[in-house]
């Protein structure tokens, strides 16, 4: 069960980050809150922080 929980956690974090940041480059209000059960909350939060910290934001090309 631990492996399945980890796999589902990774997919959940990917979907939460991807849906809230990448489609338009702006934060989607539909994903402004994410919910995790008590059993995985700490792991979900840590994985979200790690994933968000790994995103590199740069200036758009052609804009000065």
Would residue 63 count as lying in a domain? Answer: no
Would residue 21 count as lying in a domain? Answer: yes
Would residue 59 count as lying in a domain? Answer: no
Would residue 35 count as lying in a domain? Answer: yes
Would residue 62 count as lying in a domain? Answer: no
User: Which residues lie below 8 Å from residue 52, measured CB to CB, with a gap of 6+?
Assistant: 17
Domain count, the chain: 1
pLDDT one-digit tens code per residue, 4-58: 566 688 888 888 888 777 655 555 566 667 778 888 889 989 998 999 899 887 7
Would residue 18 count as lying in a domain? Answer: yes
Determine the pLDDT at residue 49. 92
Whole-model pTM above 0.75?
Answer: no
Would residue 47 count as lying in a domain? Answer: yes
Q: Is 25 helix (H, G, I), strand (E, B) or coil?
A: coil
- Cα 38 to chain center, whole Å? 18
Would residue 60 count as lying in a domain? Answer: no
């Amino acid at each position: 069960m631990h492996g399945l929980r980890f796999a589902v956690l990774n997919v959940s974090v990917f979907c939460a980050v991807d849906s809230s940041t990448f489609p338009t480059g702006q934060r989607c209000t539909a994903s402004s809150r994410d919910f995790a059960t008590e059993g995985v909350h700490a792991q979900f939060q840590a994985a979200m922080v790690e994933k968000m910290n790994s995103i590199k934001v740069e200036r758009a090309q052609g804009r000065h």
